[in-house]
Chains A and B, each alone.
Chain A
Amino acid sequence: MFGHNFKCALKTLFKNKVLLFWTFAFPIILGTLFHMAFQDIESNETLDVIDIAIVENESWKENKILSHVFDELEGDLFSITYGSEEEAIALLNDHKISGYLILSDTLKVVVKENGIDQTVLKFVVEEITETEEIMKQIAFRNPMKEESFYQNLYSMIGQIQNENKVELVDISNQNLSYTMIEFYTLIAMTCLYGGMLGLYVVNQNLANQSHNGKRIAVSPTPKWKVILSSALAGYVVQLVGIALLFLYTTFVLHVDYGNDILKVIFLTLMGCFAGLSMGIMIATLFKVSENTKTGIIIAFTMLCCFLSGMMGITMKYLIDKNIPILNLINPASMITDGFYALYYYDTFSRYYFDLMSLFLFSLLMILLSIRSLRRQKYDSI
């Protein structure tokens, strides 16, 4: 009976076009779009660089991060003249520069008039100051390889350049981690969307949720066998989908997931399991139409992915910094962060923490649904 039901569940899933779209096609399409967007950025025409001056006082010379950042931006976003404050003021008065920067306690921007250049300048400086703050915190809390630290830094620079629609130069030979994070969230999204598969098959097995469920419930096949085999089928299809996504992003889009393949696989397996158990929870706990349930999964997944940086990496940093508690209940951020930790950190404690969080999340989902999964007789169907 187990095999019979498993086979049937596989067949129904592989023939359900809507489900296959969301779990197979959509992630691949989205991945392609991401890829195109980044390529686009790379081939964009360069905007005119903004002429600025930086006051080279003691604090500036001491601040390694900032000087590094502006070195990177030199020639690309800014054309920078270094000198004393007097020189800077003179340049500003002669309209030779749009503004100048001076670092004391904070990084100050001095401008004379208002215009696009000035706005961009102010925005970038704000962005950099914020990033610098986060970088310091990260460096303080997590021991990182120096290489990784700069990787991170580059990624932020990339981000800043991106947001200002400026040509993105390939700073190192590796892909920018900005892109990487997007693809990590894409994997997270696919894991969670996989919940739809679990939702669908389990829904078909519950007498209070579907007509097929009633038919199955009156048969002499024990309920646990039916549900377990269906959930397993959902999991298998989910894994096929995510394997395709991995193959596609690795070989066609050249995304690099790091070298520890086993850990990557393990994290993905756990992520899929979290998605599956979330799907089952939604299947059992809500008594609404199947389409509504699918809608709930899509909405929840998108929210989770947004909060873990899918639509802009800044979100991830903002949440890491301000409301880290959200990461403890957001499965997408656990998955994204797991990949991130694998790629950037020497130690695995953060990775294992993410893995553990995913496991606990899945466990919670299953505990929530177990009561209604075990129910055999209903008050109303």
Chain B
Amino acid sequence: MRRGSRLAASGLALGVLLVSATASGYCRTTTCDPRRQACPRDAQGCMTGGIPLAWPEACVGFSVQRDGSVKLGIDAGTLRGIVTDAFATWQAAACAPTIAWSPLEDASCAEVQYNSQAPNANLWLFRDEVWPYDDGGKTLALTTVTYNLKTGAIYDADVELNAAQNLLVARDPRGPREVDLRSIVTHEAGHVLGLAHSGEPDAVMNERYRSGTTSLRELTADDVSGVCAIYPADRPLGVCRPVPRHGFSPSCATEAPLEEGGCCSVAPGRRRGSEALALAALLGGALLAATRRRARRA
């Protein structure tokens, strides 16, 4: 059977699979990490353990990487405009979410990072040459959100856009190979704001997108409910100062030592201390072996 007809034949199955995975409704990202603790979920599939994430500030700054995507012919100004529009879309929700985004100076560096003592940037960047993750280059965009796990306060958010293997377009897509950058950016902006995926089929934060379409550009009532739950009018706010945590650095300043201490968790029923030590030893052994091999090759 050809792929096209196969797709048509399976439309029903897919529709049920992807629409009903969660009954309906937005979910918030929380501090619960299933690698560390049990993270219960409600009937909609939303994580109920942990503290929901939110930016504590009323105003947040973001930067785009100054090279844009040479490969796709999308310059920094175009990306900056698309990201600005995407945040404006979220901000235009009926409840007037109490968070405003403004573009800061374009960044000269292209690093996803968070400094716990030095200045930072909430960066949007294209990866033109190499996509450095084990996903077969299939990821279109990857959002990394750094937060305080005791308060749920978001510290930093960086978004990588995979131009190395994907045809992202800044205009309306003209065929099924083209991916609408504005749709992807609007969806990722929802993650930056603290939203996880929604079971609502038409929502921007739903877990499906068909390339060649602009289906994720406009918020649905469910997206609006989500962003309004995170940033209601009555939340306590300070002055509007859109500076990243510890100040702004457009050059990916880095200061903190690489090691900030590790922490271990062990599956229920296992003895914590000894196993944690064993893992540390295993990890140490693995890295040592790799280092030795590299040294031998050099």
User: Do A and B interact with each other, yes or no?
Assistant: no
Q: Which residues of A are at the interface with B, using a C-beta cutoff of 8 A?
A: none
